[in-house]
Amino acid sequence: MTPTRIALLGATGSIGESTLRVIAANPDSHVVQSVSGFRRLDALIAIVSRWRPARVAVADDSARDALLAAIDYQPDVVTGPDGLVALAEDPDADLVVAAIMGAAGLPSTMAAARAGKRIALANKEALVMAGTLMMDAVEHHGATLLPVDSEHNAIFQSLPTDYRCGQSIAGLSQLWLTCSGGPFRDEPQRDLSAVTPAEACAHPNWSMGQKISVDSATLMNKGLELIEACHLFNVPADQVRVVLHPQSVIHSLVEYTDGSFISQLGRTDMQVPIASALAHPARIDSGVAPLNLMELGQLSFAAPDDERFPALGIAREAVTASQYHCIWLNAVNECAVADFLAGDLAFDRIADRARQALDSLTTSPIDSLEAVLEADRNARRWYSEL
């Protein structure tokens, strides 16, 4: 068997690190063709030294010089946003792991779709911003989307094995996204205006990058995932429901018209959905211990608290309104989360900013990647002028 050659975009992040652990458990079937890293150059140097990829993407020329001075071989080093696109399009990569955080991941994810790649998709913001364009590119260029986000991966695994993302689902009643509720779900008295970044990033079940951790605490993450699910599984927003499931054992469910619910269960470790995406439709070792059913105890379910956590409802409104609204939602949320992490915005104001942005918006057609990026820039300008 020839091994799958992987372009790992976002190698220095949380998903990137988990992906490398899965590849380490499967050295005969998966190899690292290329990696990208942005700010943590020390982490990137360690990854490049260990995995010796043929190509590396870094932020700029000074990062390239520092990388080359620190390693003992000569990979092809590319820089900037064009460098990410080059890795995504590389003819020597069979599968692209799209694990860059936020809007910065969109152009390379789109490039992978246009190059007809197999794409293990973690970068949900790309679908939030450009879902229709992305799904069209996937279909037109024969690309394959393999969801990594645990909820979407669970749904994908609960569908027939020949299902391809973008197709409609035969016999579907609705999709259920499970939601842990974030770190503040059990503290109804908690003053959310006083939450600190460290508290917001301390997720009860998952260890993740900072931005998605804050999104999980506001429940905006579930809102972005709702939009992601609409595009991946070709369903309207009113066929996607969210249920609180604090244990995060059931990772999401498909409800069929005959009353059957099919789901995937597993530990809260991203190596499980990553392994499933890397090997689909085969199975490989994820390096994660199996669930111990005898020790699980109870699984519980409840409705999310829409009043305390308005972000989910705001995202539902955005996807129902237009693609343009979704771009603004994503951009304003990214800006607000960055401000919160810097100590410049109160936690409960993150959703307020999104609400304010959408309330002031009239829609505009989105028919190209350039139009998406321009709308994203406009939204960020609006935010900075607030």
- Residue ranges that bind Mg ion, judged by CB under 5 A: 149-151
Q: How far is the CB of 232 from Mg ion (least distance, A)?
A: 12
Cβ nearer to Mg ion, comparing 110 with 229: 229
Residue 99 interacting entry, from ligand NAD, Mg ion, none, C-beta within 5 to 8 Å by type: ligand NAD
Q: How far is the CB of 251 from ligand NAD (least distance, A)?
A: 11
Find, among 14, 348, 351, the residue nearest to 184 by Cα. 348
Cβ nearer to Mg ion, comparing 253 with 375: 253
Residue 16 interacting entry, from Mg ion, ligand NAD, none, C-beta within 5 to 8 Å by type: ligand NAD
Q: Is the alpha carbon torsion for 190, 191, 193, 196 positive or negative?
A: negative
Cβ nearer to ligand NAD, comparing 10 with 182: 10
Give the C-alpha distances (Å, rounded to integers) separating 83 from 55, 57, 68, 88, 90: 10, 6, 16, 9, 10
Residue 270 interacting entry, from Mg ion, ligand NAD, none, C-beta within 5 to 8 Å by type: ligand NAD
Give residues with Cβ within 8 angstroms of 339, minimum separation 6.
345
Find, among 42, 120, 108, the residue nearest to 81 by Cα. 108
Give the C-alpha distances (Å, rounded to integers) separating 320 from 62, 187, 315: 44, 31, 9
Q: How far is the CB of 278 from Mg ion (least distance, A)?
A: 17
Find, among 182, 244, 8, the residue nearest to 108 by Cα. 8
Residue 205 interacting entry, from ligand NAD, Mg ion, none, C-beta within 5 to 8 Å by type: none
Residue 50 interacting entry, from Mg ion, ligand NAD, none, C-beta within 5 to 8 Å by type: none
Residue 208 interacting entry, from Mg ion, ligand NAD, none, C-beta within 5 to 8 Å by type: ligand NAD
Cβ nearer to ligand NAD, comparing 84 with 361: 84
Q: How far is the CB of 122 from ligand NAD (least distance, A)?
A: 3
Give the other-Cβ count within 10 Å of 62's Cβ: 11
Cβ nearer to ligand NAD, comparing 101 with 337: 101
DSSP classification of residue 302: B
CB contact at 8 A, 139 and 166: yes
Name the closest residue to Mg ion (Cβ): 149
Cβ nearer to ligand NAD, comparing 16 with 310: 16
Residue 89 main-chain phi, psi, to 5 deg: -90, -10
Task: Please list the alpha-helical segments (H only) found in the chain.
Answer: 14-24, 41-51, 61-70, 80-89, 106-114, 124-140, 150-157, 197-201, 210-218, 220-232, 271-279, 293-296, 311-321, 323-341, 349-359, 369-384
Cβ nearer to Mg ion, comparing 90 with 228: 228
Q: How far is the CB of 212 from ligand NAD (least distance, A)?
A: 4
Q: How far is the CB of 89 from ligand NAD (least distance, A)?
A: 16
State the Cα–Cα distance between residues 61 and 65, nearest whole angstrom.
Answer: 6
Q: How far is the CB of 80 from ligand NAD (least distance, A)?
A: 9
Q: Which residues pair with 5 in a beta bridge?
A: 31
Tell me which residues touch ligand NAD (CB under 6 A).
10-16, 37-39, 99-101, 104, 122-125, 149, 206, 208-209, 211-212, 270
